[in-house]
Structure formats: structure tokens, C-alpha cells
Amino acid sequence: MSSKTLLLILLSGLCSFQVLAVKEADLEQLMRTKACVGCDLREAELQYSDLKNADLRGADLSYANLEAAWISDADLTGAKLISVNLASADLRGANLTEAELDSANLVGTRFEGADLTRAILLYARILYTDIENAKLCQTFVDSPGIPRNDDC
């Protein structure tokens, strides 16, 4: 094996370690402060977490597991929640304005009083979801039975 090949292998290993370290630092920041604006929390295991009043504006939580998490009154404005597991999560009063919830698992999720203005919920699993009294202004949703309010 040439020295150039060995150097490339070592450098690629260091680069991937740094990416994982940044993600871990974001996760630690969230758990310590309940604030992680624009953080990379993809694939995070946050089931049953207490994230009440958390500031997650613009955070990427795609593919994260937030099953049964308490996320009420949190600010998730512009957050990416693509293919996220929010089954049985409590999002009452949360701000999800312009959040992306494509292909999200929303089975049993509570949304009372949540703001889903201009949020995207395409291909989301919306079963037994309590979305009554949520603000759905210009919300993109393809599930039948979910009211749309384009006149807000």
C-alpha cells in the first residue's frame, strides 16, 4: 500500500469522526440547554425526551426517533422532520411553521394548539392523531380528513 493511499484512508477516517462529533455536540447542547437552533440532529434517539419549550428553529431532525417525546410549546419553525418518528409525541402548542414533516410517523401525535402554518405533511402517517384546534393555514397535506384552511 502506497503512502498516499494510507494517508487518504487516515484522512477520510478523521473527517467522518469529525462529522459524528459535531452531531454528538449538537445532541449534548440540546439536552443541556433545550436550545439547538439549526443543529444537525438527524437520526437522533430522543424517544421519551422532555423537550418542552425547546428552541429547535431550523434544526434537522430527519429520521430521528421522537416517539412519545414531550415537545409541547417548542419552537420548531422551519425544522426538517423528514421521516421522523413522532408516534405518540406531545406537540401541543408547538410552533411548526414551515416545518417539513414529509413521510413522518404521526400516529397518535397530539397537536392541539400547534401552529402548522405552511408546514408540509406529504405522505405522513396521520392515524389517531389529535390535530383538532391546530392552526393549518396554507398547510400542505395529502391525507383525506385533515382540514385545510387556506384563508387564514
pLDDT digits (tens, 9 = 90+) for 93-123: 999 999 999 999 999 999 999 999 999 999 9
- The Cα 61–Cα 12 span in angstroms is 25
106 with 83: CB under 8 angstroms? no
Cα–Cα distance for residue pair 95/111, rounded to 1 Å:
10
74 pLDDT above the threshold of 80: yes
Res 61 pLDDT > 80: yes
Alpha-carbon span 16 to 35, nearest angstrom: 25
Instruction: Report whether pLDDT(131) > 90.
Output: no
Q: Tally the domains of the chain.
A: 1
pTM of the model: 0.83
| pLDDT-above-70 percentage for the chain | 81
CA atoms of 102 and 107, how far apart (whole Å):
14
- Identify the band that residue 10 occupies on the pLDDT scale cut at 50, 70 and 90: very low
Range of the domain at 117: 1-152
Q: Is the pLDDT of residue 5 over 70?
A: no
CATH number at residue 30: 2.160.20.80
Q: Does residue 44 register a pLDDT over 80?
A: yes
